Structure 1
Amino acid sequence: MLEFQQDNQFFIFNFDRTFKQQHQFFDPSFWQAQQRILGSAKGRGTTYFLATQDWFGVNCALRHYYRGGLWGKFNKDRYTFSTLSQTRSFAEFSLLQRLYEAGLPVPKPIGAHIKKGKIGVCYQADILTEKIENAQDLTALLQNQSLSDKTWQQIGGLIRQLHDLQICHTDLNAHNILVQNTEQAQKCWLLDFDKCGEKSGDFWKAENLNRLHRSFMKETERMKIQFTEQNWTELMFGYHQHFNQKDKP
């Protein structure tokens, strides 16, 4: 890990080598000048996909943190600073690294950045993560095809692994699951761990799953995705099957 400060900016990187331009890695115009922008995706803001395989070992996704809801109309991207580890980008970087080291299919965190305001009360944040190649948002995929029972079970197993680590994905929905097509099979990934973290006990786990189920039902109406209650049964089978198998030799 490489951590450093430059004036009112703080950086952390998941590599050991030093780049002359590393303080510019969170500026889309830098990557544009380098002709390394592969594409982009619109959400709350714009996520840029970057050709960085030769530098970092993987291509990357660059995301700026934006506020949502009514508050976001008045304050689009500033957050109150308390400690560096609790800032949005540094906290998500740390959690992703923990999950990545535990073997969960999450994007590898590459870097995080915050820029404090002149007074130091507020900050803006960015994060660089691995770009998952040959992958589609689950909802986009389900608009055109159905998934096999095995893939639904795989999704359930992934959520169980997360829950067994006592990690609550506070925005667990169908858009935060990616399906990657490999030569062998479909591989599922979990995304967007902003504001997520560890929770004790088990009381929250059923509601976390219910949130995901509501998301599927909503997108069945809104996006006409191919989703049935049998699909959910298979997902839950994978969730409980992972629990039954984890202690087997």
Structure 2
Amino acid sequence: MAMQERIREDAAGAILFDAAVSPQVDADWFDPEAWRVRNALRQQSGGRGGVAIIDTPAGECVLRHYRRGGMVAKLMGDRYLWKGADHTRCFAEFRLLGRIAALDLPGPQAVACRYRRTGFFYTADLITRRIADAHTLAELLTEGRLDGEVAELVGALVARFHRAGIWHADLNAHNVLVTAEQLYLIDFDRGRQREPAESWQQDNLQRLRRSLVKLGAATQGEAAFEEQLWKPLVYRYERTVRA
């Protein structure tokens, strides 16, 4: 189903939503406490600026508040410099998810997003449909369930996105979801669609490799990691990206 963009603006900011998913979205959708009062807050992590699982009229969803990382977070917190509505992190990610869906790629379904502006800065939130019964690639690695077969599936997944020119700004093992039916890429903050090129595609792959190694995929040695996980992943990636 094609995305049907609708925008609701007020003095504080704007809500962008997909009317094909939900014909009405209001400010309460972005407040975990409002869902708690309705007994519809299923899970919350990270406190303010974290992630909440909410039971909405559009189904079970993930509410994510945008927040900075690293040293900048100490100065800016969850604020971003205002450059116009179309340049907000939430509007950009929402629309990229729409393009991903139109390309029939496995990513989260966008439901709604919101920015709230104060002077030269804004804060933002995004709601996507929750992918049920999913585990992250990082969890599979920790549990000892990441093998060559799964690695091949990851390679094919990444290749499909790269072939369509979808660049993931933070391709790591936490942003790959695995279900019994298929794999997904999630969290496309700062991602974009660009002309396919081997340079950025390989950089993206190396980012995923560093994530796996950092999480302990090479604890039995670099050679074992290469043979058992990385070579199968790259083999399937290369076959798929050139298909």
Regarding TM over 0.5, the answer is: yes
Aligned to 1:26: 30
Alpha carbons 1:166, 1:198 under 8 Å: kept = yes
Aligned to 1:100: 101
5+ unaligned residues in a row in structure 1: which ranges?
Answer: none
How far is 1:96 from its partner?
0.9
**Rounded Cα–Cα distance in structure 1 between residues aligned with 2:70 and 2:242:** 40
Alpha carbons 2:49, 2:78 under 8 Å: kept = no
Alpha carbons 2:217, 2:225 under 8 Å: kept = no
Counterpart secondary structure, 1:161:
helix
**Rounded Cα–Cα distance in structure 2 between residues aligned with 1:5 and 1:140:** 40
Counterpart secondary structure, 2:215:
helix
Structure 1 stretches of at least 4 aligned residues deviating more than 4 Å after TM superposition: 221-224
Q: 148-157 or 127-136, which moves further after superposition?
A: 148-157
Query: What letter is aligned with 1:47?
Result: V
How far is 1:145 from its partner?
2.7
Alpha carbons 2:79, 2:121 under 8 Å: kept = yes
Aligned to 2:75: 74
Alpha carbons 2:106, 2:183 under 8 Å: kept = yes
Mapping 1:185-224, distance limit 5 Å: 187-200=182-195, 201-220=197-216
Aligned to 1:166: 165
5+ unaligned residues in a row in structure 2: which ranges?
Answer: none
Query: What letter is aligned with 1:65?
Result: Y
**Rounded Cα–Cα distance in structure 2 between residues aligned with 1:134 and 1:181:** 8
Alpha carbons 2:93, 2:189 under 8 Å: kept = yes
How far is 1:241 from its partner?
1.7
1:228 corresponds to 2:229: no
The alpha-carbon distance between structure 1 residues 67 and 223, as it changes in their structure 2 partners (threshold 3 A), is: farther
Alpha carbons 1:155, 1:188 under 8 Å: kept = yes
- Alpha-carbon displacement from aligned partner over 1:120-155 (angstroms, at most 9, x marks no partner): x21100000111111112111221132343322221
Query: What letter is aligned with 2:38?
Result: Q
How far is 1:84 from its partner?
1.0
The alpha-carbon distance between structure 1 residues 199 and 101, as it changes in their structure 2 partners (threshold 3 A), is: closer
Mapping 1:1-249, distance limit 5 Å: 1-16=5-20, 18-19=23-24, 22-42=26-46, 45-52=49-56, 55-56=57-58, 58-117=59-118, 119=119, 121-182=120-181, 187-200=182-195, 201-220=197-216, 228-229=225-226, 230-245=228-243
- Alpha-carbon displacement from aligned partner over 1:70-115 (angstroms, at most 9, x marks no partner): 1101211111111211101110101111111211111101001000
The alpha-carbon distance between structure 1 residues 192 and 44, as it changes in their structure 2 partners (threshold 3 A), is: farther
Alpha-carbon RMSD across the aligned residues, in angstroms, is 2.2
Alpha carbons 1:44, 1:66 under 8 Å: kept = no
**Rounded Cα–Cα distance in structure 2 between residues aligned with 1:98 and 1:150:** 29
**Rounded Cα–Cα distance in structure 2 between residues aligned with 1:179 and 1:42:** 23
Report the identity percentage.
Answer: 31
How far is 1:33 from its partner?
1.0
The alpha-carbon distance between structure 1 residues 152 and 43, as it changes in their structure 2 partners (threshold 3 A), is: farther
TM-score, scaled relative to structure 2: 0.88
**Rounded Cα–Cα distance in structure 2 between residues aligned with 1:222 and 1:67:** 29
- Alpha-carbon displacement from aligned partner over 1:23-56 (angstroms, at most 9, x marks no partner): 211111111111101112349942100112xx21
**Rounded Cα–Cα distance in structure 2 between residues aligned with 1:208 and 1:195:** 13
Counterpart secondary structure, 1:38:
strand
